Structure 1
Amino acid sequence: MRITLVGSRHFGVTILEMLHQHGVEIVRVVVADPEDRLAASARSAGIEVVVQANPKLVVASEIADGTDLIVTAHSHARISKEALAAAKLGGIGYHPSLLPRHRGIAAVEWTIKEGDPIAGGTVYHLADRMDAGAIAAQEWCFVKKGETARELWERALAPLGRKLLGEVVDYAKTHKALPSKPQDEQFATRAPSIS
């Protein structure tokens, strides 16, 4: 399976390492910042790195030819319809909430702000609407009393993202398809940036 990874930061590097362990070919890494640690890790592994022309949008020309699946890991860019069409199976991303709850850039912060006793992570199909594609995998975890967003991310949600993305990639390798369950819109909430 040939994967184009779109992402950034420590979580992007974590997913790059996980993908290597799952025996897929990472044909390209797409980043918004050429100095990002994911870009450095990819270059040191001999993987082609492409810097997005627009940090908010990934276009078809930035996806490697022959890509089976686009995987996003800590990317805040929208993947264009044309880019998704360039990959045989489209794309998946990880969102640190139980989608459709807390759609948006600050999901973990809103989990804490709302006092949610349970959080979770979702691997979802990338789609036109942000964080609104079909669910490929989902799992929950408890939120500790007094836990900060960063503590929750590091303790539970980042490791959960690595696990769930690995499971969905393995499923895609075996079945040449992605698991898919629609999101229930009646439970959708927004998680805009908290300033």
Structure 2
Amino acid sequence: MRITLVGSRHFGVTTLNMLREHGVEVVRVVVADADDRLASTAHAVGIEVVVQAKPKLVVASEIAPNSDLIITAHSHARISREALAVARYGGIGYHPSLLPRHRGMAAVEWTIKEGDPIAGGTIYHLADRMDAGAIAAQDWCFVKKGETARQLWERALAPLGLKLLAEVIDYAIVHKALPAKVQDEEFATAAPSLSAH
């Protein structure tokens, strides 16, 4: 399984480490910023790093040739349709909510703001619309009373994302396909950045 990882920051690094421990081949890491810690971690272990020409878009030439799968981990860039077509199974990402609830950049913050008693994570197929692709895997967790978004992310949602990514990769290796369940638009809610107000 040859993977192109698109991402940034701490979750990008923990995802890279999980993939390497999981025995799949990360052939290229794509970052928006050459100084990002994911770039330096990839360089340190001899993985090719490509810096996106446009920070909000990943194009086909930035995906490693013969990739089986594109995985995004803390990436705010859209993966173009042409880029997705380079990889045998397209691309998946992790979203820290029970999609279609809380689509957007601030899913964990909105989980806390709305007082949701249950949170969760979703591995979803990358598609033209942000966070709207078919669901490949999903699981949930309880939210502790008084927990902040950061505490919830670190305690439950980040580890959940790594576990679900590993499960979907294992499924793809065995079945030569990704699981896919269409999201129910009736339950979609938006989770725009809260700092924008």
Flag whether TM exceeds 0.5 (same fold): yes
For residues 155 and 106 of structure 1, the distance between their equivalents in structure 2, rounded to whole angstroms, comes to: 17
Give 1:69's aligned residue. 69
Match for 1:42: what amino acid? A
3-state DSSP class of the match of 1:133?
coil
TM-score by structure 2 length? 0.98
Give 1:113's aligned residue. 113
For residues 45 and 62 of structure 1, the distance between their equivalents in structure 2, rounded to whole angstroms, comes to: 19
Q: Where in structure 2 are the equivalents of 1:172-191 lying within 5 Å?
A: 172-191=172-191
For residues 40 and 155 of structure 2, the distance between their equivalents in structure 1, rounded to whole angstroms, comes to: 25
Match for 1:135: what amino acid? I
Identity of aligned residues (%): 82
Q: CA deviation at 1:175?
A: 1.3
Q: CA deviation at 1:23?
A: 1.1
Q: Which runs of 5+ in 2 are unaligned?
A: none
Q: Which runs of 5+ in 1 are unaligned?
A: none
Segment of structure 1 superposing worse, 169-178 or 27-36:
169-178
Give 2:43's aligned residue. 43
3-state DSSP class of the match of 2:194?
coil
Q: CA deviation at 1:126?
A: 0.3
Give 1:29's aligned residue. 29
Name segments (4+ residues, structure 1) moved above 6 Å.
none
TM-score by structure 1 length? 0.99
Match for 1:124: what amino acid? Y
Give 1:133's aligned residue. 133
For residues 173 and 42 of structure 2, the distance between their equivalents in structure 1, rounded to whole angstroms, comes to: 22
For residues 172 and 63 of structure 1, the distance between their equivalents in structure 2, rounded to whole angstroms, comes to: 19
2:157 pairs with 1:157: yes
CA contact (8 A) 1:58 1:79 kept: yes
- The Cα offsets for residues 154-183 of structure 1, whole Å up to 9 and x where unpaired, read as 000000000000110111111111011110
Match for 2:100: what amino acid? P
- The Cα offsets for residues 35-92 of structure 1, whole Å up to 9 and x where unpaired, read as 1110011000100000000010000000000000000000000000000001010000
Give 1:10's aligned residue. 10
